[in-house]
Amino acid sequence: MKLQRHGTIACLALTAVLGLSACGSDNNEPATGASASGSAAAADCATGTLNAQGSSAQKNAMDEWIKAHQQKCSGAKINYEPSGSGAGIQAFIAGTADFAGSDSALKPEEQPQADAKCTDGKAIHLPMVIGPVAIAYNLDGVDNLQLKPATLAKIFAGKVTKWDDPAIKADNPGVTLPSTAINAVHRADSSGTTDNFTNFLSKTAEADWTFGKAKEWKAPGGTGANKSDGVASAIKGQAGTIGYVEWSYAENGGLKMAKVANGAGEFVALTAESAGKTIAGAKVEGQGDDLKMSIDYNTKEAGAYPIVLVTYEIVCGKGLAADKLPLVKGFLAHAASTEGQAALTELGYAPLPDSVRTKVESAVKNLS
């Protein structure tokens, strides 16, 4: 697989940044019970079927975890539909998903609706996937594009429409830019990636981005594409195109990615190490086993790439159906283990900082 070329380097880089010590874990080893280090999934393999849906950003991570878990637990069948964060949340609320993947936390009005599905409990957020968001582009002859947040805001707001616009030239001194029209691609469906990207713009380029943050795209113009793979395909298919998409999809599509300026004004390329530096500064702001996180998009950390998102598994902390509980706990225990997290580095994701991973692992054990 194309992404595997940076897996070992990425894992080593994140070891240095986050203190993760699971490089080289073998996903095919049999489960031997949860250890103190979290290197193995739950010992007991439940039998039955789980149905989950939501974030397309975590699809590649889910595919890897499902494959590894079902190799260990042949009686467990896990179905995950990458329908988008908004659709996943609605499926959870409707009772058709046993848990939902979402790239943003439940809205205040969604929380009580989700809670209503949990007998004697609440729906909680378990951060499971760290997905750096790439600014991917297709522009002949330009291989090292770099953009400030304000320039990105102008492009996606439709204020900058040509590649040789003075704003882009100012970010790229000495680079010959064509007069090609810009085709800015955004998600057409309700998307946690859009929620995070527009949150980034609203926090870092307030003067130029006046459309706030939301799962639904609010700015005029541009081209809409469904789901992450649709955005990646749209960028690859037309010269002059730019879009925001998870790193794994940009890598899989062989897309060029722009350097993005962080809060210190440093243009930084997207790597596991540069994303990890931003992740390391994220704070858990939820209470108890509800582990909602807050990311500083204006990070001034040297070498930090500023656009990263957290994908949550939204699940009942208490009140899970008796026939689903062991299945949910077994699968999410694998995802939260050092083994499960280490596997992500080969797929264009960054593993959870171990300080966060251990909290997620503990919250999974507490599910009831």
pLDDT tens, N- to C-terminus, the chain (368 residues): 333 334 433 443 444 334 433 333 333 333 333 333 343 344 469 999 999 999 998 999 999 999 999 999 999 999 999 999 999 999 999 999 999 999 989 999 999 999 999 987 899 999 999 889 999 999 999 999 999 999 999 999 999 999 999 999 999 999 999 999 999 999 999 898 999 999 999 999 999 999 999 999 999 999 999 999 999 999 999 999 999 999 989 999 999 999 999 999 999 999 888 988 888 788 888 899 999 999 999 999 999 999 999 999 999 999 999 999 999 999 999 999 999 999 998 888 888 888 889 999 999 999 99
Instruction: Return binding residues for phosphate.
Output: 55-57, 85, 103, 191-193
pLDDT at residue 4, as a whole number:
38
pLDDT of residue 44: 64
Distance CA 272, CA 17 (A): 10
Of 331, 329, 280, 332, nearest in space to 306 by CA? 280
| Best CA proximity match to 250, nearest among 264, 266, 271 | 271
Place of tokens 């994220």: 282
Residue 364, SS3?
helix
Asked whether the beta carbons of 41 and 70 are under 8 A apart, the reply is no
> Phi and psi for 355 in degrees, rounded to 5?
-65, -30
Residues making up the annotated binding site are: 55-57, 85, 103, 191-193
Give the H or E element holding residue 111: helix 110-115
Other residues' Cβ atoms within 10 Å of the Cβ of residue 267: 17
Q: How far apart are CA 270 and CA 247, in angstroms?
A: 8
CB atoms under 10 Å from CB of 174, counted, come to 5
pTM score > 0.85 for this model? Answer: no
Report DSSP state, residue 105. P
Distance CA 297, CA 260 (A): 11
Q: What pLDDT sits at residue 352?
A: 87
d(CA 108, CA 131): 24
Q: Which domains does the chain carry?
A: 48-131+283-292+309-366 (3.40.190.10), 133-277 (3.40.190.10)
Contacts of 239 (CB under 8 A, 6+ apart): 138, 139, 140, 180
